[in-house]
Each structure stands twice: as structure tokens, then as C-alpha cells.
Structure 1
Amino acid sequence: MPNQKEYFPDLCNTSDFFVPHKNSNHLNAQDVVSDLVARAKDISVATFNCFADGEKLVIKDEIVANLIYEIQTKLEMIEKILPLAFESKGA
């Protein structure tokens, strides 16, 4: 029988799960935030392209829901790391 690890369902929320690395600093956080924003923007464009003329959904609604969830996940991660991005220790 394989070694079973304990599962913590309350940590399924990205915001609760995400913890910055102990050696990270505000510069690392700024890079991560910038990358997450860029990826969220790309996903928002992809989501918009799921509609014909910005009105009629032309693909499965499940795909759009997944794209929106991806945007939400990125925003939760940004929200979690943003305070560190503005924290400068002894610059």
C-alpha cells in the first residue's frame, strides 16, 4: 500500500496555499506580480475571444468558466504577494 499523505481541503484556496519563499524580497515579488498580471491579461483576451462580436458565446461555457477561474486564481496570488512587492528592507 502506498504511503498516504494527509489532505487538507482548506488549503485548496490559492490565496491560503500560496506562501512566498523565505529568501524572496520585494524585487522578486515585483517580478512575480508583473508576470501574473501579464498572464491574467492574456487569459482575459482569450476569454473575450470566446464570444462572437463580444456578445454570443461560440464555445462551451465550461471553457469560459475555466478561463475565468484562472484569472481569479492569478488575482488571488497577486493579492497575496502584493504587500511584499512594496516592502523594501534597507534599500
Structure 2
Amino acid sequence: MPNQIKKTYNPSLCDTTTFYVAHPDANYLNAQDVVHRLVASAKDISVATFNCFDDGNKLVIKDEIVANLIHEIQTKLEMIEKILPMAFDHEGGE
């Protein structure tokens, strides 16, 4: 694809909290919905991660899979951390 513009890679944007930008039309109610979905998803992933162990202590699948699940939980927690202030901004969020 010769017409494609090459963008430089910026490693500082790999951090979820740096990358996240709220939509200009979003308000605290939207933020609350997003936080709710992220928490529910993180809970589901934590259950899946726990199920990767036999009796809670012996890993029964590849450690790389567990590491990826933990990274996914961490990413969701970083997003929640970034969104929480907006979720409680009742005065400025409308």
C-alpha cells in the first residue's frame, strides 16, 4: 500500500493511562457505565486466571497464558483508575 502514511512508534503511549482520552460528549454517567463494564470484565478474567491453577496452587496451563490474563486485568484496572474521577464529576460532567 504505497499511499499509506507511516507513523512513528511512540513507546510512551503504550501505557493505558497515557493513551486513554475521554470522548468530548461523554459525561459522568457514561464514565460510570464504562467503569461498571471494566470491573465486570476484570472479575471474569480473574476467575479465568484462578481456574488456570489446580487446587489454587499448581499451574495447569502455560505460564504465558496466565501472564497475559494478569496483564489484561492490570490494563483494565489502569483504565478504571483513569476513568474514576470523571465517574464522580456530577457538576462538571454534564
* SS, match of residue 15 in structure 1: helix
RMSD after superposition: 1.3
Q: Which residue is 1:13 aligned to?
A: 15
How many Å separate the matches in 1 of 2:7 and 2:57?
46
Q: How many residues align?
A: 91
Percent identity of the aligned residues? 70
Alpha-carbon shift at residue 5 of structure 1 (Å): 1.4
Q: Which residue is 2:46 aligned to?
A: 44
Structure 2 residues without counterparts, runs of 5 or longer: none
Alpha-carbon shift at residue 14 of structure 1 (Å): 0.6
- 1:30 corresponds to 2:39: no
Q: Which digits, 9 at most, give the CA deviation of each residue in 1:11-47, with x for residues without a partner?
A: 0001110111111100000000000000000000000
Length-normalised TM-score, structure 2? 0.92
- 1:3 corresponds to 2:5: yes
Length-normalised TM-score, structure 1? 0.94
* SS, match of residue 23 in structure 1: coil
Structure 1 residues without counterparts, runs of 5 or longer: none
Q: Which runs of 4+ in 1 moved over 6 A?
A: none
Q: Which residue is 1:61 aligned to?
A: 63
